[in-house]
Amino acid sequence: MGGLSTEVRFRIRSFRFAFAGWWYVLRTQRNTWIHGAISIAVLVLAWWLRLSRQDWAILVLTITVVWMGEFANTAVEAVVDMTMPEPHPLAKVAKDVAAACVLIGALGAILVGLLILGPPLYERIK
Q: Which amino acid is at 28?
A: T
Q: Which CATH number fits domain 31-125: 1.10.287.3610, 1.10.630.10, 3.40.50.10160, 2.40.50.140?
A: 1.10.287.3610
Q: pLDDT (tens digit, 9 = 90+) per residue, 42-97?
A: 999 999 999 999 999 999 999 999 999 999 999 999 999 999 989 899 999 999 99
pLDDT at 5: 84
Quickly list H helices, the chain.
6-28, 30-48, 53-83, 89-125
How close are the terminal C-alpha atoms of the chain, in Å? 58
pLDDT at 78: 95
Neighbours of 112 (CB within 10 A): 19
Q: pLDDT (tens digit, 9 = 90+) per residue, 29-41?
A: 999 999 999 999 9
20: pLDDT strictly greater than 90? yes
Q: Please identify every residue annotated as catalytic.
A: 70
Residues in the chain: 126
Could you tell me the pTM of the whole model?
A: 0.87
